[in-house]
Amino acid sequence: MRPLYNKKPAIYGISINSFVFDETRIDKMPPERAKKIHSYRFLDDRRRSFAAELLLETALGKDAAFSVSQDDMGKPYIKGGPHFNISHSGNWTILAVCGEPLGLDIEACSRSRDTDGIARRVFHPAERAEALRDVKIFYKIWTAKESYIKMLGKGLAGLSRFRVIFANGVGRVEGDPHTVIHTFDHIDGYAAAVCSPAGIDWPQRILICKR
């Protein structure tokens, strides 16, 4: 049987504005995946969920037979497939796939968000000064921390309990030598980060897809 994924770790991204959303296309997907998309009340949420399905098909192969389940922590997985994580914000949905556990996050860099208040409430004390000084640094730290939490499969309540330190182009969580965080800022107006065990050879850019 052909493996579902035997490629290098990769990150794919797609804008929900880059494809024509025809809901009849959903019905061509396996029933459980189509049902999930139709379950969303708002059109943009259905578009984001559909975008995630397109990215999974891009990563695994359009003809790949797979279903997405959730573990006890609510983290999605594909039986017999690679580790993967999906994140979306604004117009963008991104997907990372890898042979090891990972966490992924993307955030629209909105200046209307109360970044100062968030930094004071949930950032580690040693991170706050940088985050309060520069909104771009805030989102770099924010996505890095969320990607770490998502890799662990835990909630966001513990964000202030650990510190992310950036050096030599990558981020690391203080006291955890076994993980590394790669950040991405080439999608205009967005920040993204992927966290995985150290030693994973991630690409330098998100592969932008159009369908």
- Comparing C-alpha atoms, which of 15, 36, 175 is closest to residue 106? 15
Q: 38-83, pLDDT tens digit by residue?
A: 899 998 999 999 999 899 989 988 777 777 877 777 778 888 888 9
Dihedral angle at the C-alpha atoms of 104, 108, 109, 114, nearest 10 degrees? -100
Instruction: Decide if pLDDT at 8 tops 50.
Output: yes
Please tell me what DSSP assigns to residue 92. Answer: E
Question: CA torsion 35→77→52→74, rounded to 10°?
Answer: 70
Q: Which amino acid is at 18?
A: S
Percent of the chain surpassing pLDDT 70: 96
Tokens 């389940």 -> residue: 69
Question: Is 86 exposed, middle or buried (CB count within 10 Å of its CB: 0-12, 13-18, 19+)?
Answer: buried
Residue 1 pLDDT > 50, yes or no?
no
Domains of the chain by start residue, with CATH: 10-101 (3.90.470.20), 104-200 (3.90.470.20)
